[in-house]
Amino acid sequence: MAASFGVSSAAAANAVKSPALSPPSLPVIRSEARPISCRVNKSRKAGKITTKAVAAQAENPASAASKPGHEVLLFEALREGLEEEMERDPRVCIFGEDVGHYGGSYKVSKGLADKYGDLRVLDTPIAENSFIGMAVGAAMTGLRPVVEGMNMGFLLLAFNQISDNCGMLHYTSGGQFTIPTVIRGPGGVGRQLGAEHSQRLESYFQSIPGIQMVACSTPYNAKGLMKAAIRSENPVVLFEHVLLYNLKERIPDEEYVVSLEEAEMVRPGEHVTILTYSRMRYHVMQAAKTLVNKGYDPEVIDIRSLKPFDLYTIGNSIKKTHKVLIVEECMRTGGIGASLTAAINENFNDYLDAPIVCLSSQDVPTPYAGTLEEVTVVQPGQIVTAVEQLCR
Amino acid sequence: MALYLSKSGKLLPHFKQKICSLGMISLSSIASCFSQNPPLSPEHGKTPYAAPSLFASRRFGSVKAENLASINNTADSQALNFPGGMVKFTPELKFISDLPEERINCYRVLDESGHLLTSDFVEIDKDIAVKMYKEMVMLQTVDTIFYEAQRQGRISFYVTAAGEEAINIASAAALSMDDFVFPQVKSIRPVQYREAGVLLWRGFGLQDLANQCFGNVGDNCKGRQMPAHYGSKKHNYFTVASTVATQIPHAVGAAYSLKMEGRDACTITYFGDGGTSTGDFHAAMNFAAVLEAPVILFCRNNGWAISTPVSDQFRSDGIVVRGQAYGIRSIRVDGNDALAVFSAVHMARKMAISESRPVLIEALTYRAGHHSTSDDSSKYRPIEEIEWWRAVQDPVARFRKWLEIQGWWSCESDTELRDRARQEVLDAIQVAEKMEKPDLGEIFRDVYDFPPSNLSDQEKSLRQTVQRHQRDYTHFQL
């Protein structure tokens, strides 16, 4: 879809009696690839544009002090994104359990209730189906809710509302009502949180028509994706990861948004394309260090957009390397890797020199014991072995 | 505005006395607090939301930890300073009864022969009353003819509102055009949908109704939803999914949005007795109460959820008693009495907006028709019961009798109206039937704001298939 940034005029028309918006200038991030048409509202002036898909430098703390920008942790980056959007557009509101004065279980909404009041940053009772339903109703009448699931797994209770209402009402109403909600929260396998709190909901949601899914992995893309998701007219599910909230990175001071539909080139290479997202990106990068020492040159892509896939970036990579390894945290059956494998086979079969290899978690509930839990998640050693086998 | 705030101060002690029993707030005591405006006139200006609350510990201010000293200093050994308010102790080992001594009484204005039983109702002037009657007749006609059309195979499915016309029209008449309506739809299997009357009242045309049922190009849902699943943004009538009771949290969310904007409007949502068993109902009620959202929760208790009677659905005294359990004001009305429904909704709307609170209305009525065209209700309920409700309790007949007593209607007008209505509906159906079905592209539009590449590919592939096998796809001429 065209990367539509900013408040479209239709959305502005839907906003009944809200104060006049004077949104600031809107810089756009793109990767070096194809030009994307950018629908900018006439009332805004064009602003500065930063053109890198990733932050300037994520890995050299020594030289950090002299560089521009500011250092943040990932949850702070999410909060910055939220705060900037709430400042910019008075229709943005937050719902969730303990998001108000408590600031959210992972402190993503800390301080926002004090600043914007506890009607706009609303603490809800424990009823996921209800507050997602509320968000749908509020969105249909012009608000832009950001709903937090305390843990993504709890959103299974809201599956009905997300699938049948959030995803479908724009379609079944003949386009009359839009549902610009953002549903976000931490998911994935953490440190001994037990099976019910270690769900990877992207597997279950990927089939729902009408929603977009994105997964953030760095403070830079977390903030950018949060902002883009809020500005999107479609319902977006933003997957964060429980273990990544304390990642530190230097991000730009100026305003930026990243594209919801684009993948991120983490490390260009020649030998093999490794597709991954969220926490597994870090396992892959760790494996990449080992692989480089062994003489391999892996290309690592963080797919970021889980629905729809950025087949353009992925395709270009495959055309170069001819080998694909997918590393995911989902379970083997019915996960993102399974769909991605199918999509690549369908579209790029001719370019593959070898069958696609997909490393995923086993089809088991995540056990509590630390040693057991560790081996249900793909580890760097496995990734190294898989690449060696693929590149033989 | 000042009037409401000062009067509401008087109400608060009144509530506190009643809290221990299933006390009710009578219509007249509320009526004395509000001026009797003519129906449909909008409230002026915005009302501030300083609602009195029974449990006053938090009222959208930031929460500070309770001062421990003040808790411990409570000298009273008769009561406990518990979060939420003081709780008195009792030495008796006594359980609260599962059911009240007497069922909650049902508010009624007209008897079966159309005579007024009380003066405690909201007056309606002649124009509105006659319009209400005409719309009820139109709704009946639409239902009869569309049902017949389904039986003839011209539409695939239909749901009637037989027996519930008063609820539809009278509640719609008591609302303003700015109020958001979240109508009922039911389970994934045969669907229940009974608020077409509200749409008719708001000016949704017969042709639009017919177009939606036939799913043709004139359908504003573009052929994407089942018959009788209407939705119209300009009439503030929200398209709902077929899933039961999911519209109730939506209504609360919309009420939240109205509250944020400080608008002079409320939300209303309709659901049936069966819908009150769902998790969404519970959660939405609870949430509406906590949020103090201006929403009217209208339950049409018609005795049956497809083939499940209410005795298998719940064991409480209907739905009205649940209101107090959530801290929501509630009332039970006779759903076949148009004046009673009108009055109740009118007052509920005032309360909802001026005090920013939810209100629960339970309307007792009867589903005189089948659940839907896929159902034959004589299989699970006695025909005599159906006949009695249809003959004796028919809401349209009752309202007409009252109109005739007022001298506002006559038999001749009736025959003329019904003939004309029938002809209009038949014409609408004929036109709708001949209209084209929507274009192939409508399958792929509006899934997102702009179609992503995979959908564009899928559309291309589908068009190629249709072109290649043109004979098998005569509907789509490419």
pLDDT tens sequence across A18-38 = 444 444 444 544 444 433 333
Check pLDDT > 90 for residue B436: no
Task: Report in angstroms the alpha-carbon separations of B354 from A143, B121, B151, B255, B331.
Answer: 22, 20, 47, 13, 18
Confidence at residue A53, expressed as pLDDT on a 0 to 100 scale = 53
pTM for the model: 0.77
Question: What pLDDT band is residue A101 in, cutting at 50, 70 and 90?
Answer: confident
Length of chain A: 392
Across the interface, whether the CB atoms of A119 and B239 are under 8 A apart is answered no
Question: What pLDDT band is residue B9 in, cutting at 50, 70 and 90?
Answer: very low
Across the interface, whether the CB atoms of A129 and B258 are under 8 A apart is answered no
Task: Report in angstroms the alpha-carbon separations of A140 from A169, A177, A179, B286, B314.
Answer: 9, 6, 6, 21, 32
Count Cβ atoms within 10 A of the Cβ of residue A234 and give its class: 0-12 exposed, 13-18 middle, 19 or more buried: buried
Q: Quick check: is B242 catalytic? A: yes
Give whichever of A220-229, B82-91, B165-174 has the largest mean pLDDT. A220-229
First and final CA of chain B: distance in angstroms? 62
**ipTM field:** 0.71
Question: What pLDDT band is residue B18 in, cutting at 50, 70 and 90?
Answer: very low
Question: What pLDDT band is residue B244 in, cutting at 50, 70 and 90?
Answer: confident
Does B26 or B356 have the greater pLDDT score?
B356
Question: What pLDDT band is residue A381 in, cutting at 50, 70 and 90?
Answer: very high
DSSP A263-326: -EEEE--SSEEEEE-TTHHHHHHHHHHHHHHTT--EEEEE--EEES--HHHHHHHHHHH--EEE
Contact A133, A165 (CB under 8 A): yes
For β-strands A298-302 and A264-267, DSSP reports them as antiparallel
d(CA A239, CA A227): 14
| Residues whose CB falls within 8 Å of the CB of residue B410, separated by 6 or more in sequence, listed in order | B404
8-state DSSP, A163: I
Chain B contact set for A18 (CB, 8 A): 261
d(CA A164, CA A346): 29
**Which residue does chain A place closest to B282, by CA atoms?**
A130
> What part of A 101-130 touches B (C-beta under 8 Å)?
101, 113-114, 117-120, 122, 124-125, 127, 129-130
A387 touches chain B (CB under 8 A): no
| Mean pLDDT, residues A74-96 taken together | 95
Across the interface, whether the CB atoms of B249 and A129 are under 8 A apart is answered yes
Task: Report in angstroms the alpha-carbon separations of B426 from A60, B138, B422, B431, B463.
Answer: 76, 12, 6, 9, 35
Confidence at residue B62, expressed as pLDDT on a 0 to 100 scale = 46
> What part of A 46-75 touches B (C-beta under 8 Å)?
none
**Residue among A128, A148, A249, A264 flagged as catalytic:** A128
Tell me which residue in A129, A138, A173 faces B221 most closely, judged by beta carbons: A173
Chain A contact set for B242 (CB, 8 A): 164
pLDDT digits (tens, 9 = 90+) for B437-476: 888 888 888 889 888 888 898 899 889 988 888 888 877 7
Mean pLDDT taken over chain A: 85
> What part of A 174-193 touches B (C-beta under 8 Å)?
174-178
Contact B158, B213 (CB under 8 A): yes
Confidence at residue B307, expressed as pLDDT on a 0 to 100 scale = 80
Tokens (6 digits) for A281: 């990106």
Chain B contact set for A309 (CB, 8 A): 454
**Residue among B66, B148, B387, B416 flagged as catalytic:** B148
Q: Quick check: is B21 catalytic? A: no
Check pLDDT > 90 for residue B348: yes
Does A129 or B396 have the greater pLDDT score?
B396
Chain A contact set for B231 (CB, 8 A): 172-174, 176-177
Does B370 or B422 have the greater pLDDT score?
B422
Check pLDDT > 80 for residue A317: yes
Question: What pLDDT band is residue A55 in, cutting at 50, 70 and 90?
Answer: low
Check pLDDT > 60 for residue A125: yes
For β-strands B359-364 and B295-301, DSSP reports them as parallel
| Mean pLDDT, residues A47-73 taken together | 60
pLDDT digits (tens, 9 = 90+) for B168-223: 899 999 999 999 999 885 322 222 346 777 777 888 888 888 888 887 888 877 87
d(CA B389, CA B307): 17
Across the interface, whether the CB atoms of A127 and B283 are under 8 A apart is answered yes
* Mean pLDDT lowest among A94-98, A159-163, A307-311, B389-393: B389-393
Confidence at residue B202, expressed as pLDDT on a 0 to 100 scale = 83
Q: Sign of the CA dihedral B370, B373, B374, B379?
A: positive
Tell me which residue in A129, A131, A135 faces B279 most closely, judged by beta carbons: A129
To the nearest whole Å, the CA of A20 is away from the closest chain B CA by 13
Mean pLDDT taken over chain B: 80
Question: What pLDDT band is residue A275 in, cutting at 50, 70 and 90?
Answer: very high
Which residue type, as a one-letter code, is found at position A130?
A: S
Chain B contact set for A5 (CB, 8 A): none
Q: Which residue has the tokens 């004090």?
A: A114
| Residues whose CB falls within 8 Å of the CB of residue B416, separated by 6 or more in sequence, listed in order | none
Question: What pLDDT band is residue B308 in, cutting at 50, 70 and 90?
Answer: confident
pLDDT digits (tens, 9 = 90+) for B272-284: 998 898 889 999 9
Check pLDDT > 90 for residue B297: yes
Residue B10 phi/psi, 5-degree rounding, is: -70, -30
Tell me which residue in B221, B287, B454 faces A172 most closely, judged by beta carbons: B221
When computed from its CA atoms, the radius of gyration of chain B, rounded to whole angstroms, is: 25
For B406, the 3-state DSSP assignment is helix
* Mean pLDDT lowest among A77-86, A316-325, A330-339, B67-76: B67-76
pLDDT digits (tens, 9 = 90+) for B130-177: 999 999 998 888 888 888 888 888 887 777 777 888 888 999 999 999
Residue B299, beta-bridge partner list = B271, B362
Residue A276, beta-bridge partner list = A302, A327
Q: Quick check: is B442 catalytic? A: no
To the nearest whole Å, the CA of A124 is away from the closest chain B CA by 7
Confidence at residue A62, expressed as pLDDT on a 0 to 100 scale = 52
